[in-house]
Structure formats: C-alpha cells, structure tokens
C-alpha cells in the first residue's frame, strides 16, 4: 500500500489512524455483526456513537452548555441560506465581511432573504488581505455579522476573532474548524462542512447559541429550522450516520494528539515552514497573500514562470504529492495543510519544490 500526500482542499486527507480504525470496524462494529452504515440511527449502538462524537467535540472546543451542536446535511452551502432564515429574527439587515469566493457565495444567498451590508471588503487588495477592523462599517441594526475565518480558495485567514459587541457573530469555519482552540462564547453560530478537517463529505456541523433559535422567517421548511434539529438531537430524519461516525473517530484522534492546542502548534509549524520555503526561493515561488493574514490551512502560491505550472504538477504527482493545482479562479498552486496532513508531507513538498527549482530555476 502506498499512500500519497494529498493536498486537496476538500474532500481532503483523513488521519491514517482514523481510516485504519474504520477499516477494522467496517463489517462488524464492536461485535454488533453489522457496519455502522447498516445501523438504525435510532438503535442503541448508533445513538451511543452519536452521543460520544458530540461529547468529544464539546470537549475539544470547550463548547458551553447553552450551545447546541447539530449534525446536519446540505453542506456549508445550505448554511448560507439557513443562517438568515433562522437568525434574522424579525430584522431586515445583516452585515457580511467580504473576503473572497466563499463569503461572496454566502452574501449572494443572504441577499435572497435580507438587505446585506458589506461592512468590509478585501476587493481593493484583490482579496489578498483583510481590511483591519478599524475600517469596518458595521450596522448597529444588523441581525448578525457573518464572516469566513478562512477563505479556502484565496488563502486569507483571520488570526483573531472580530469584535462585534452585542451583535451576534456568525462564522463559516468550514476550512479552519479544529485547527486551533477558539473561544466559542464569542460566536452566536459556527458552521462547517465536515469534508476538510473532520470526516467524509455529507455532514455539516453547526454550533449555535440556544437562545437564538426558534424564530425562523415565515415559510421556513422544518428541515431548515435549527430548532427542529436541536429538539430531535439531529435525528428528525435519517442523519448521515457513517459521516457522523467518522467525525467521532476524528474527534477521538484529535484528543489523542493532545487536543487543539497541540494541533495549533503543529499546524502553525507546518504553515510557517511552507511560507518560509516559498520566501527562500528568491522569487521562483511566490505567496500573493499579506503576511498578516496568511492561512495555516490553504496556502496558494505561484511560480514566477506559469509555463512551469504543468511540469510542476506532473512531477509533484510522480513524487506522490497530489492535488496541488490552485483553484481555477486564482491559478498557480494551492497546498491544503489540514490537521490530517502529516508534517512529513509538508517536508516532502518543500524538498520537492527545492529540487524542482534547482532543475528549472
Ligand atoms: N465555505 C467554505 C469556506 C468552503 O471552503 C466550502 C467548500 N469548499 C464551502 C463553504 C461550501 O461547502 P459545501 O461544499 O460543504 O457546501
């Protein structure tokens, strides 16, 4: 068996130990005689798996008791709609921070439900930076402030949580959740598609302060009402049982790694190394991103000569380093270094980049 180093932005690499455990348990989960895929979501086995996953996630993120944790479907994209449908609560306006492709999509969807105030935009810097909070124009009547802590495509990341006072703060943490400790009490709602830092695709995690839910806009389908999911432990219909189980394996793995403080130290080290490798190339490779908001998770870089892009990708793949092509809207390369990317993978990438430069530079 030869595992490659997979730098995909998502669905992304999962911890090898998690995959091995899933393989061990695949056809007979703990003597039940069946796979988790084949279990009733209302049976005691799966209810136990689900509860353990939630308990471990609560422990990892130190989620306060007045927050609900929901295991949903529809991807982070459905949250672009569910957030306004649930959190407008009679108001007509919401603030959005526009930092790249994913916040753009969140904004477009929110416009179907309310008047969107772009309180800050990274457009002037072509989304290679984030405007300082002192320049934001927050609306005191906004129902909430929405931002994207990590822009998966552009590679800009907030390294501090914005201050929004009494106005509820909503975060699309799809590509940064569990990469470091956060103070959940600073947020009204956090959502994340699981397919980057948690589990296979098909699961979306929502962490929401309990007092904010139950006031959906008129006509909201019950499946899009957080309260319906909160009141049924995310089992108002059949949940994505296998992805939920896999998420649980990842949470347990994170605890064994020493929790999020330990993950943050490794993640920072991995990212620092790659940025340093790019900087040391004397311009052969370049990071377009403002050093103050460089992502730890998704690192875009370009080659000074774009004619070398194709050979770079081809030779990287031959060396077992895959999925490095940048998003079509940005070009160049992008290395995603989620929790499950081993440090050795980053070392191998840097070494490959140096050798490639020596050959072609
Ligand atoms: N937000 C961010 C920050 C993302 O990276 C992605 C997926 N790449 C999405 C939203 C959309 O997620 P999904 O495909 O789960 O709907």
Q: Which residues of the chain are under the pLDDT cut of 70?
A: none
> What tokens does 162 get?
């914005």
Specify the residue with its C-alpha closest to ligand 1, atom 4.
174
User: What per-residue confidence (pLDDT) applies to 330?
Assistant: 83
Report the candidate in 349, 10, 62 with the shortest Cα–Cα distance to residue 175: 10
Count CB-CB contacts under 10 A for residue 45. 17
Ligand 1 neighbourhood includes 203 CB (under 6 angstroms): no
CB of 148 within 8 A of CB of 106? yes
Ligand 1 neighbourhood includes 152 CB (under 6 angstroms): yes
Cα(138)–Cα(94) distance, rounded to whole angstroms?
A: 9
User: What per-residue confidence (pLDDT) applies to 311?
Assistant: 98
SS3 for 333? strand
User: What per-residue confidence (pLDDT) applies to 291?
Assistant: 97
Characterise 74 by phi-psi region: left (phi > 0), alpha (psi -120 to 50), beta (else).
left
Whole-structure pTM value: 0.98
**Atom number in ligand 1 closest to CA 10:** 8
User: What per-residue confidence (pLDDT) applies to 361?
Assistant: 84
Q: What stretches of 78-160 adopt beta strand conformation (E)?
A: 93-98, 115-121, 145-147
């Amino acid at each position: 068996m030869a595992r490659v180093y997979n730098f995909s932005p998502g669905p992304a690499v999962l911890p090898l130990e998690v995959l091995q455990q899933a393989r061990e348990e695949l056809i007979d989960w703990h003597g039940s005689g069946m796979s988790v895929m084949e279990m009733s979501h209302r049976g005691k086995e799966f209810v136990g798996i689900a509860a353990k996953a939630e308990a471990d996630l609560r422990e990892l993120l130190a989620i306060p008791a007045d927050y609900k944790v929901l295991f949903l479907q529809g991807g982070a994209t459905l949250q672009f709609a569910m957030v306004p449908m649930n959190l407008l609560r009679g108001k007509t306006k919401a603030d959005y921070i526009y930092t790249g492709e994913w916040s753009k999509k969140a904004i477009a969807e929110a416009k179907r439900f309310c008047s969107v105030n772009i309180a800050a935009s990274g457009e002037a810097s072509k989304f290679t930076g984030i405007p300082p909070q002192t320049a934001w124009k927050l609306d005191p009547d906004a129902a909430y402030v929405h931002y994207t802590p990590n822009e998966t495509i552009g590679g800009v990341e907030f390294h501090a949580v914005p201050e929004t006072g009494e106005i509820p703060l909503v975060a699309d943490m799809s590509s940064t959740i569990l990469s470091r400790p956060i103070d959940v009490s600073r947020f009204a709602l956090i959502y994340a598609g699981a397919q980057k830092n948690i589990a296979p695709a098909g699961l979306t995690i929502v962490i929401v302060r309990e007092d904010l839910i139950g006031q959906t806009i008129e006509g909201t389908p019950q499946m899009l009402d957080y309260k319906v999911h909160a009141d049924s432990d995310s089992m108002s219909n059949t949940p994505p049982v296998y992805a939920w189980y896999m998420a649980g394996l990842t949470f347990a793995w994170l605890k064994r790694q020493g929790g999020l403080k330990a993950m943050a130290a490794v993640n920072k080290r991995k990212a620092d190394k790659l940025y340093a490798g790019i900087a040391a190339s004397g311009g052969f490779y370049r990071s377009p991103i403002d050093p103050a908001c460089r992502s730890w998770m998704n690192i875009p870089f370009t080659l000074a000569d774009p004619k070398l892009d194709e050979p770079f990708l081809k030779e990287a793949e031959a060396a077992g380093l895959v999925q490095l092509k940048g998003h079509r809207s940005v070009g160049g390369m992008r290395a995603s270094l989620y929790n499950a990317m081993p440090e050795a993978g980053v070392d191998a990438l840097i070494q490959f980049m140096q050798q490639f430069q020596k050959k072609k530079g």
